[in-house]
Structure 1
Amino acid sequence: MRDRIKVLIVDDSALMRKALKEIMITDKTIEVVGAARDGQDAIDKAGEMQPDVITMDINMPVMDGLTSMQHILNDHPKIPIIIISSLSTEGALTTFEALALGAFDYVAKPSGTVSSNIHVVGKEIIDKVKLAYKSANRNSLNGRIKARSAAAEKKTVASQRKSPAPGSNELSAVVVIGVSTGGPGTLMEVLPRLPSDLKAAVVVVQHMPASFTSSFARRMSEACAISFKEAEACDILANGRGYLAPGGYQLLVHRDGKLLRLSSSPETQFMPSVNVTMASVLERCGGERMVGVIMTGMGDDGADTMVKVREAGGITIAEDESTAIVFGMPQEAIKRGGAEIVAPSYKIAGEIVKAVNRIRSNRKI
């Protein structure tokens, strides 16, 4: 029998440690090699047990998960860490901080710090443990840990930026970005590099729980030169403005091609869905005014519509395997012929700007 994925569980709750172990051992490819009750214990056991993957709680005594994670990644940069966090606003903010510092991904506890029903996200936990293990030795992940740690030391720079000047309601083009697993960190690399005078609206569809999207939108607003917010019904698409699709809804464009609306249908595996939002923008705005972007994520959401956008004259961009934390979504877009341009994450902002300029030039705006 081949070696199993060795997992270290870190949580101060004995109930959570037991429940997480019960989830893990249902999969024959995973072995729980140990459990730690606080951050310091996690550091000690990470060195002793050399796990393949660590699941990490945030709020713990002695040493919190965020501090512990930084020590572990410094000493063992190839061990991916999955944050197991609460759905609260505070939990969301800390989770994004962890992602910025190099965490592989996160799973949201369904009902607070101690979730007796953690089993409802059991499949998600197992899937992400496997993805983390698969990605552990990739240069893209290890390089990003170093890059994000360096960026964290400079995080005050963005907060010192001047707020962008209020724009008009002019709309030259629409950029739709679809992203999933590994997305928050990747978006933090791409979106802050877009200029404040971008002649396009930017719509971001990130697979994320409803209680997380408002906090993430605020974080992006602080980091970006363009105006950025969580999308609401009746928001108007405009140049130099960014909109994050809210969790639990489909983000659609009204028939006038500018007005946003939210809908609980169609029901899809992910709410919001990249395919649904891209298709709506394509229908209302037309391919000749659209840029489709697919970056890191599990599965194939957005791949089919990227093909349609390209066929309709739109410009499509997929993240290259060299930087994608999870190459699923961009790989599917590329395989199906939906990616005109393939670029690493650090070049995607530049490709978006060039694409918007191409659209303006073609339309002689």
Structure 2
Amino acid sequence: MIRLLIVDDSPLMRRLLGAVFTAEGDFEIAFARNGVEALEQLRTFKPDVITLDVNMPEMDGLACLDRIMLENPCPVVMVSSLTEAGAGVTLEAIELGAVDFITKPDRAVSLEMETLAPQLIEKVRAASQARLPSSLRLAERVRLRSGLEQRAPVMTTRRRMPISTGRRQIKAASANGLVLIGASTGGPPALDALLSRLPSDFPWPVLVAQHMPGSFTGPLARRLDKLCALTVTETTFPMPLSPGYVYIGKGDADIIVSMRPDGPVVMAAPSLPEHRWHPSVDRMVDSAMQHFAPARLVGVLMTGMGSDGAEAMTRLKEQGGRTIAESEESAVVWGMPGELVRRSGAEMVAPLEQIADRIMDMVERS
């Protein structure tokens, strides 16, 4: 049985979410109306996974999440609105340690819940098996337990890293290759860790397909741009592929490579029904292979549930491209990279903290 704690101040949402998971037959469910009750249930019910609303009385979702991650870390799935403000709060929650998020229906809640139920169940099941890094906010947890902190501090966004200071340099080259990164559950902090290690003179453009709604990818790109030496931008219209740039695929659409008379561009394309998740990693990789020689492509498949990207990156490796799968030891959910490994499509398997160096090695040798 999976022990699930549902935290929401709305009686209707508690009832609807409870019904969705009760129908599965393998969930033991407890409820809390706010953050204060959630912290008490954390100690008594000891959940395997928590769904946590953001806006609640007495103690809101962010403050509650902060306490959970410092006092008794547990996989948490945030319940968020689809607004841009909701996206900003959700990304802050992921930085604090939340594994994933689900979007709250914005109209007839009871009618939309049936449509959303399969995704809710899949995400919560994946989160219940998620691997929280042992280093997650370790210094803060130690200080708290030592009595040096009276409350759990909310993390603040770091400044952009100094350009190329104390970091490995790569000789400048023409933009005749691409790095293609796919991620899903656990992806935003993994992208932070990877992209912030690439120097400002990195010679190949970087494309990212991170599974997210359309209202979330813009705030994600702006947040990453503050943390990285490279320029990070959301792809909303055709843009020339340029070294020094990271292109984040627009959510609810796909990110593809196309060719124009003056050279290759990256652009958003309407999502296709044959791809379940968007932006689709498989479609991104396939489109890049239509316009670049496989030897000029590096594919990286990171944390996430499902198998998106495994099929296309396996083809890429078979045709002479380079591929990296995040290792099980560092991935929050080893679904996508694990599937790439099972298909023998990963040239290399590496923990998150080594992936940037492995990418630079591959680009230097190309």
TM-score normalized with structure 1 length: 0.88
Q: Which residue of 2 aligns with 1:16?
A: 13
3-state DSSP class of the match of 2:79? strand
Q: Which residue of 1 aligns with 2:146?
A: none
Q: Which residue of 2 aligns with 1:266?
A: 272
Verify: 1:196 aligned to 2:200, yes or no.
yes
Q: Which residue of 1 aligns with 2:23?
A: 26
Pairs aligned (count): 345
Residues 241 and 266, structure 2, Cα contact 8 Å, conserved in 1? yes
Distance 1:111 1:200, change over 3 A: same
Verify: 1:300 aligned to 2:304, yes or no.
no
Q: Which residue of 2 aligns with 1:343?
A: 350
Distance 1:37 1:8, change over 3 A: same
**Cα distance in 1 for residues equivalent to 2:99 and 2:330:** 13
Q: Would you tell me which structure has more helix in proportion to its own residues?
A: 1
Q: Which residue of 2 aligns with 1:355?
A: 362
Q: Which amino acid aligns with 1:175?
A: V
Please report how far the alpha carbon of residue 115 of structure 1 lies from its aligned counterpart in structure 2 after TM superposition: 3.8
With 225-234 and 305-314 compared, the bigger mean Cα shift is at: 305-314
Q: Which amino acid aligns with 1:13?
A: S
Q: Which residue of 2 aligns with 1:43?
A: 39
**Cα distance in 2 for residues equivalent to 1:275 and 1:115:** 32
Please report how far the alpha carbon of residue 338 of structure 1 lies from its aligned counterpart in structure 2 after TM superposition: 1.1
Q: Which amino acid aligns with 1:335?
A: R
Q: Which residue of 2 aligns with 1:219?
A: 223
Residues 102 and 148, structure 1, Cα contact 8 Å, conserved in 2? no
3-state DSSP class of the match of 1:284? coil
Please report how far the alpha carbon of residue 185 of structure 1 lies from its aligned counterpart in structure 2 after TM superposition: 1.9
**Cα distance in 2 for residues equivalent to 1:246 and 1:9:** 30
3-state DSSP class of the match of 1:263? strand
1:37-60 CA-to-partner distances (Å, cap 9, x unmatched) read 111121122112212211100111
Q: Which residue of 1 aligns with 2:134?
A: 143
Residues 229 and 244, structure 1, Cα contact 8 Å, conserved in 2? yes
Gaps of 5+ in 2: 142-152, 165-171
Verify: 1:315 aligned to 2:322, yes or no.
yes
Distance 1:160 1:324, change over 3 A: closer
Q: Which residue of 1 aligns with 2:116?
A: 121
Q: Which residue of 1 aligns with 2:188?
A: 184
**Cα distance in 2 for residues equivalent to 1:82 and 1:265:** 25
Q: Which residue of 2 aligns with 1:329?
A: 336
**Cα distance in 2 for residues equivalent to 1:309 and 1:122:** 34
Please report how far the alpha carbon of residue 175 of structure 1 lies from its aligned counterpart in structure 2 after TM superposition: 0.3
Q: Which residue of 2 aligns with 1:57?
A: 53
**Cα distance in 2 for residues equivalent to 1:8 and 1:125:** 14
Residues 174 and 200, structure 1, Cα contact 8 Å, conserved in 2? yes
1:145-178 CA-to-partner distances (Å, cap 9, x unmatched) read 236969x987554247579xxxx99413200001
User: Within 5 A, what are the aligned runs for 1:89-104?
Assistant: 89-104=84-99
User: Within 5 A, what are the aligned runs for 1:146-165?
Assistant: 146=137, 155-159=156-160, 161=162
**Cα distance in 1 for residues equivalent to 2:93 and 2:197:** 21
Q: Which residue of 2 aligns with 1:205?
A: 209
Gaps of 5+ in 1: 360-365
Residues 160 and 228, structure 2, Cα contact 8 Å, conserved in 1? no
Please report how far the alpha carbon of residue 216 of structure 1 lies from its aligned counterpart in structure 2 after TM superposition: 0.9
Residues 210 and 278, structure 2, Cα contact 8 Å, conserved in 1? no
What RMSD in Å do the two structures reach over aligned CA positions?
A: 2.4
1:87 maps to which of 72, 82, 85: 82
Please report how far the alpha carbon of residue 195 of structure 1 lies from its aligned counterpart in structure 2 after TM superposition: 0.9
1:169-194 CA-to-partner distances (Å, cap 9, x unmatched) read 94132000011111112112111111
> Structure 1 stretches (4+) deviating beyond 3 angstroms?
147-150, 152-157, 159-163
1:285 maps to which of 288, 292, 300: 292
Q: Which residue of 2 aligns with 1:362?
A: none
3-state DSSP class of the match of 1:7? strand
1:274-297 CA-to-partner distances (Å, cap 9, x unmatched) read 011101111101112110000111
Residues 169 and 237, structure 1, Cα contact 8 Å, conserved in 2? no
Q: Which residue of 2 aligns with 1:107?
A: 102
3-state DSSP class of the match of 2:291? helix
